[in-house]
């Protein structure tokens, strides 16, 4: 899940609309509160038909608001003004076709829609509805207009079996994807500053097989590369993710990504070379193997058949290959996972491979190793200058890396 420190002390306002997917919002609120966020919840009249306000007030340790509160005289200032000014970021989910249409046209006939007009906070939209409703041309038109507005991030619904038994698009994004969207908005304030850029990211740890069940590999989970892809997508870039095997990555984080899966270093090299010509930025976050067994058996070797020594063969250097054939105005960013002294070997790698910059991190420090939810890094330029990027969640670190690359 998203690292806890990212939400500590942040003020998050959640608008809940009427739909069976409201149960997923309970998980979102629970995770935010456990992470130290201050959470307030507004329910529409439709949402109250699916879930009691008491459920959310229990989870967020604060009364949940309904239209009855909107029309009550017990508040000193108008409630929608107070809530709108209080919020640092606002989420509306599950966004229904009705509320989507109201937001597009600026209608304000309940507490939620009035609060949207009264806030300057960035807005995260997560729709959910029947597939045929979602695919209606007018709904799609409303969605495209609304998500293109400044300070607005729209999460595309997922696909699968819906509550109406229809199989198709319209599922509410998973809680982990909603949390990632909120974390991104807290960083970017809703600015789509990478819009128009094509960004290619690789991730994961490659595997070189000795036989069908044994391989030389590494413990990379691929989380840092996945977070780079998500952060870039949240900032408006067109993103392609090419990844070796991923481990312990929540499936809900991957559904919106354009991705291609590979296994070996050679497969990764082939895919990267094919995809690189159209990329403005290439972010090489994968943990790529350097060697493979010289011989590979297509059948499982018995213990008696295992060689006493294992001859190894060097594999192609993907970063160096891409650097040699780089395209005009293309930024090529490497990553160096190190133990012990990290700066010297990272600078040597940066210069040897002809990269525009390299992101170095120490995998032998607490909370910074493979598979962790957090990381810290130092960004290095070819002239030897550096920029510490700090210890934070991997999604926030991804945003810090993108800021650094943008300013190169």
The residues assigned a catalytic role are: 164
102 marked ligand binding residue: no
DSSP 161: E
67 marked ligand binding residue: no
Distance between CA atoms of 107 and 140, rounded to whole angstroms? 18
Distance between CA atoms of 11 and 36, rounded to whole angstroms? 10
353 marked ligand binding residue: yes
The answer to whether 221 touches 250, Cβ cutoff 8 Å, is no
331 marked ligand binding residue: no
Closest listed residue to residue 333, CA positions, set 270, 290, 280:
280
> Which tokens sit at 148?
């293109």
Residues near 74 by beta carbon (within 8 Å), at least 6 away in sequence = none
Q: Is the peptide bond before 228 cis (omega within 30 degrees of 0)?
A: no
> Which tokens sit at 247?
């481990």
DSSP 73: S
Instruction: Provide the terminal-to-terminal Cα distance of the chain, rounded to the nearest Å.
Output: 31
DSSP 309: S
Angle subtended at Cα 235 by Cα 261 and Cα 252, rounded to the nearest 5 degrees: 45
Task: Determine how many CB atoms are found less than 10 A away from the CB of residue 36.
Answer: 13
406 marked ligand binding residue: no
Residues near 275 by beta carbon (within 8 Å), at least 6 away in sequence = 200, 240, 242, 260
Continuous segment of H or E residues that includes residue 208: strand 208-211
Distance between CA atoms of 331 and 204, rounded to whole angstroms? 21
Distance between CA atoms of 400 and 22, rounded to whole angstroms? 33
DSSP 334: E
Angle subtended at Cα 75 by Cα 74 and Cα 79, rounded to the nearest 5 degrees: 135
DSSP secondary structure string for all residues of 229-296: HHHHHHTT-EEEEEES---S--GGGTTTSEEEE--SHHHHHHHHHHHGGG-SEEEE-SB--SEEESS-
What's the gap between Cα 251 and its chain centre?
11
Angle subtended at Cα 14 by Cα 12 and Cα 18, rounded to the nearest 5 degrees: 175
Q: List residues forming the annotated binding site.
A: 290, 300, 335, 349, 353
Q: List residues forming the annotated binding site for CTP.
A: 290, 300, 335, 349, 353
């Amino acid at each position: 899940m998203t690292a806890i420190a990212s939400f500590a002390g942040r003020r998050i306002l959640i608008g809940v609309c009427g739909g069976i997917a409201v149960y997923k919002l309970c998980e979102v609120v629970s995770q935010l509160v456990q992470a130290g966020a201050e959470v307030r919840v507004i329910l529409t009249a439709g949402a109250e038909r699916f879930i009691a306000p008491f459920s959310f007030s229990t989870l967020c340790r604060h009364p949940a608001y309904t239209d009855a509160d909107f029309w009550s005289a017990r508040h000193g200032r108008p409630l929608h003004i107070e809530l709108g000014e209080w919020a640092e970021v606002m989420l509306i989910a599950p966004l229904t076709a009705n509320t989507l249409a109201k937001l597009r046209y600026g209608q304000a006939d309940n507490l939620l829609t009035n609060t949207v007009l009264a806030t300057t906070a960035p807005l995260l939209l997560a729709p959910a509805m029947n597939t045929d409703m979602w695919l209606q041309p007018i709904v799609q038109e409303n969605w495209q207009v609304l998500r293109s507005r400044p300070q607005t991030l729209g999460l595309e619904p997922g696909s699968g079996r819906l509550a109406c038994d229809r199989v198709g698009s319209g599922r509410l994004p998973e809680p982990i994807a909603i949390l990632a969207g909120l974390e991104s908005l807290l960083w970017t304030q809703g600015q789509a500053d990478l819009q128009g850029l094509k960004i290619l990211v690789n991730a994961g740890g490659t595997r070189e097989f000795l036989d069908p069940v044994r391989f030389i590999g590494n413990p990379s989970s691929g989380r840092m590369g996945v977070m780079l892809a998500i952060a870039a997508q949240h900032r408006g870039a067109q993103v392609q993710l090419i990844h070796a095997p991923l481990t312990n990555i929540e499936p809900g984080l991957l559904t919106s990504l354009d991705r291609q899966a590979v296994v070996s270093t050679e497969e990764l090299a082939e895919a990267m070379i094919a995809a690189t010509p159209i990329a403005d930025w290439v972010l090489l976050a994968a943990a790529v193997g350097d060697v493979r067994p010289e011989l590979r058996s297509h059948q499982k070797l018995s213990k008696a058949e295992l060689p006493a020594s294992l001859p190894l063969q060097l594999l192609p250097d993907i970063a160096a290959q891409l650097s040699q054939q780089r395209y005009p105005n293309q930024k090529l960013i490497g990553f160096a996972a190190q133990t012990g002294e990290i700066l010297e070997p990272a600078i040597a790698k940066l210069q040897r491979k002809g990269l525009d910059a390299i992101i170095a991190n120490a995998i032998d420090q607490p909370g910074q190793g493979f598979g962790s939810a957090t990381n810290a890094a130092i960004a290095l330029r070819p002239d030897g200058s550096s920029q510490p990027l700090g210890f934070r969640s991997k999604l926030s670190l991804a945003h810090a890396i993108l800021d650094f690359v943008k300013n190169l």
